[in-house]
Structure 1
Amino acid sequence: MIKNDSITKKIGLPYLFGAALFACTSAFSMSVQAADLGGDCCADLEQRIAELEATTATKGNRKVSLTISGWVTEQVMGWSDGLKTDAYVGTSLNDLGNRLHFDGSAKINSEWSAGYSLRIDVVGANGFVQDAHNPDGGEGPPDTLNSYWWVKSERLGRVSVGRQSQATDDVWVDVSGAGSIFAANLVDFDGQNFQLVPNGSRTRAKARWGDLATCYTTGVGIFADCGGDRTNNIRYDSPTINGFMLSTSYGEAYYYDFAIRHNYDGPTWTTAFGAGFARNTAHRINAITPDYYAQASFAALHKPTGLFGSIYYGHENPEGDYKPTDQLYVKGGVRASLNKLGATVFYGEYGNDNDMFSGLLGGAVFSGVTDVCDGFAGTGGKIDTACGAAGPNNVKATGSTFDRFGFGIVQEIDAASAAFWLKYKNYGADVDFVADGVHGNEDMKHLHIFALGGAVFF
């Protein structure tokens, strides 16, 4: 899910799961929809906004309505990288950061309608850009996330044109509630820009955690949801038939994708499924090379017990002399009714990506690393030592592993349309390399993240 043209991921607000999470349940109603993380991380949030429309400020001309909605989210994020411990105040990147939505629609006749969507990212310090030396990372003027018009037929579906998420953004689905999605997401919203520290070293590398979680499609270290940025495109979403919706989009020089989603909300189970395939040859954001990207996700909630879980898998196959990558993300927990405020959500999460080290190959968005030797110069670690002995031209990164796990608790407050969380995340990684034909491995100190935060919807 992701940001603007300067960095970007992963996630405008969903039309899909109804269009990345097009199947999160509403944070407060546990019903399912799909995401478009259709630009956002969670269709669940789109559904929540629909529920609040009766109380939002509404105005417009005589023919076209205007509905204003959105959310404000901030957190106190503590961190420890093995060299220092500190705490920052900030939000997440645009998709889960502070948002302002302007939506309008008008009936043409009994079947047809038309409308528009404008999404504004209210930029502030955020955990996606902050690092050990920069507590104010990400601050800047408001930025446009989505800006498009649409025409819809109840029988034929919807066509939208403008800046928006692609059909496969994002295919991840979650039915645990919007508050849980803000706290735990498959995208690396917290800490990706912190510097790597090789084990045995007391020096931070130039390379960042995001350099080991970089998508070829976007050239940004987001860990997963590699199609999760917005482009200027034309998109089609079919009507929902027996819970199924088909979507496709095309644009931004040469990008096309296809997605299928299914939502089910029965008396005992809520389930959601999403799968997508994308082809990119456009120079979107900081794209490294043309590629193919496939992804799939499934989530389920057992209503009587509150037990829930979701699993996501993504595979990116680049052109040229680059290694394919794999991403896995799993989340599970329980929604419990412990008090009258709202649901209390307990969750755990795990993520793994393999060979997403393309941020070490040059042109990394945040670190500016030019090659693996530049990324670890001066640290005194294994890669730095090998570069000194063999020379930069004879040392190459050949593989990487990035593992993360975390857990937390979320308290939803129905009367205030709010959710508050306390969470912990742990990042670990290693890099394989070869120097003059000799193979080696560099292990990194773990990054620990603690956060107390909240979101208020309006």
Structure 2
Amino acid sequence: MTQNFRIHSLAAVLAVTTAVPAMAQLRYDNNSGGYVELYGQIHPVIVSVDDGEETETRLLDNDLSNSRVGLRLMQPYGSNEFTFWFETGLGLPSTGSANQDGTNNDGWSREDIRHVDFALKGSYGKFSAGQGSMASDGAAEVDLSYVGTVLYSFTNDENGAFFYRQPDGILSDITVGDSADNFDGARRGRIRYDTPSYNGFSGAIAYGQNILSSSDDDDYYDIAVSYGNTFTNGIEFAATIAYAVRDFDDGSGERRDTIGSASVLLPSGFSFTAALGTRDNTSDGASDPDYWYTKIAYETDWVSWGQTGIGIDYFDGSDFQNEGSSTKSWGIAVVQRIDSINTDAYLKYRRHDFDDMVDFDENEAWALGARWRF
């Protein structure tokens, strides 16, 4: 497939998503207060990655928030609510599978399943079981800015599988994804409990295993505390801290992550977001990476289509690949809401600079895409 064909193909996809009217909500309400809802999204993106010597441009599905379909069911049960949630990615060729060697994609697999989640909610809180979010999922990604749709603390969505290029022009075996992470929690086959909210505070605890992978028998458990509030002066604030442990099945030790993030949105449209995390590896020879992240953003209604958001961020990480290595990254993005078709269109630039005894060439990525939800 030629580069021109990829670009023309994305243009066609974007034309479709911006030409069709917004779909009617696919929801059925019963006579007892319950409902069943179908939903989904399509998220094509043109990604152009420059590794310092060569540039690759492709049409892909954006791993930032991949194309997916899902079903939600809610049914009142006395004073409780019973819910079921199923969601799966579509298994399209994605940004997470693309690098200088091509795009590796075998189509849909069971690892594309995101949620098969049963829950019971009442005044006592919420109990969940099945494939779904651990307590720490989202703890490093609290973000009240609209530009956070595409610009947030995980910085490897568009080019994470690309290899850094050495100063002599030879590709290394270190990827952009190896050099940075926000340690955010994952989805697992788990049991989880969420407390009720008390004056804006809530907590969650979970235990799980990676039931979608036949090669991962490790145990995962975590705990998180969150706070959110809108104050009388219109200022919005949200924050989460979490502690997560991965206990390796082979007896080699544990991986312990401490993460947190916070965001404030002012009535003026300005927002400020920060995140940080540390990882403690007890396995022999493993490094203990850490990072901090910050972003400033602004959002307003510049056009009649919908909200516009712009932002710039910075990531600083240490010891990700080896002790003493350094990762620095910055990005800038603009996102435009198109309310009439429930679409977020965006343009984003990100640069990674990695130093691990060797000062690798900078890796730069441009992303032009649109996420259409139905």
TM-score (norm: length of structure 1): 0.70
In 2, distance between residues paired with 1:159 and 1:55?
32
Note if 1:162 corresponds to 2:130: yes
In 1, distance between residues paired with 2:184 and 2:371?
25
Q: State the secondary structure of the residue aligned to 1:181.
A: helix
Superposition map of 1:22-421 within 5 A: 55-59=24-28, 65-93=35-63, 96-109=65-78, 111-134=79-102, 136-138=103-105, 140-141=107-108, 143-153=112-122, 155-171=123-139, 172-177=141-146, 180-187=147-154, 188-199=156-167, 201-213=168-180, 223-224=181-182, 226-252=183-209, 254-266=219-231, 267-283=233-249, 289-303=253-267, 305-321=268-284, 322-357=286-321, 397-421=322-346
- AA paired with 2:145? S
Query: 1:420·1:453 contact (CA, 8 Å) conserved in 2?
Result: yes
Query: 1:263·1:272 contact (CA, 8 Å) conserved in 2?
Result: yes
In 2, distance between residues paired with 1:265 and 1:98?
32
In 1, distance between residues paired with 2:292 and 2:40?
30
Query: 1:166·1:231 contact (CA, 8 Å) conserved in 2?
Result: yes
- Distance 1:137-1:401 versus aligned 2 partners, 3 A rule: same
In 1, distance between residues paired with 2:252 and 2:203?
29
Q: What are the superposed Cα offsets for residues 308-361 of structure 1, whole Å, 9 maximum, x if unpaired?
A: 11000011111133332102121211002211111111100111221111xxxx
Unaligned runs of 5+ in 1: 1-51, 214-222, 358-396, 432-440
Query: 1:126·1:139 contact (CA, 8 Å) conserved in 2?
Result: no
- AA paired with 1:132? Q
TM-score (norm: length of structure 2): 0.85
- Distance 1:288-1:348 versus aligned 2 partners, 3 A rule: farther
- Distance 1:204-1:254 versus aligned 2 partners, 3 A rule: closer
More strand as a share of residues = 2
Superposition map of 1:436-455 within 5 A: 441-455=357-371
Percent of aligned pairs with the same amino acid = 20
CA shift, 1:288, in A, is 8.3
- Distance 1:289-1:353 versus aligned 2 partners, 3 A rule: farther
Q: State the secondary structure of the residue aligned to 1:128.
A: helix
Q: State the secondary structure of the residue aligned to 1:278.
A: strand
CA shift, 1:148, in A, is 1.4
In 1, distance between residues paired with 2:201 and 2:105?
38
Q: What are the superposed Cα offsets for residues 93-113 of structure 1, whole Å, 9 maximum, x if unpaired?
A: 2x611121211011111x211
Q: State the secondary structure of the residue aligned to 1:343.
A: strand
CA shift, 1:417, in A, is 1.2
CA shift, 1:144, in A, is 0.9
Q: State the secondary structure of the residue aligned to 2:305.
A: coil
In 2, distance between residues paired with 1:195 and 1:289?
29
Q: Partner of 1:388 in structure 2?
A: none
RMSD: 2.3
- AA paired with 1:150? A
Q: Partner of 1:365 in structure 2?
A: none
CA shift, 1:60, in A, is 8.0
Q: State the secondary structure of the residue aligned to 1:328.
A: strand
Q: What are the superposed Cα offsets for residues 398-448 of structure 1, whole Å, 9 maximum, x if unpaired?
A: 4311111010211111222111111111011011xxxxxxxxx21100011
In 2, distance between residues paired with 1:283 and 1:233?
17
CA shift, 1:291, in A, is 1.7
Paired residue total = 338
Query: 1:300·1:309 contact (CA, 8 Å) conserved in 2?
Result: yes
Q: State the secondary structure of the residue aligned to 1:451.
A: strand
Q: Partner of 2:11 in structure 1?
A: none
Q: Partner of 2:7 in structure 1?
A: none
Q: State the secondary structure of the residue aligned to 1:415.
A: helix
In 2, distance between residues paired with 1:228 and 1:278?
8
Q: State the secondary structure of the residue aligned to 2:43.
A: strand
In 2, distance between residues paired with 1:343 and 1:115?
32
In 2, distance between residues paired with 1:283 and 1:403?
33
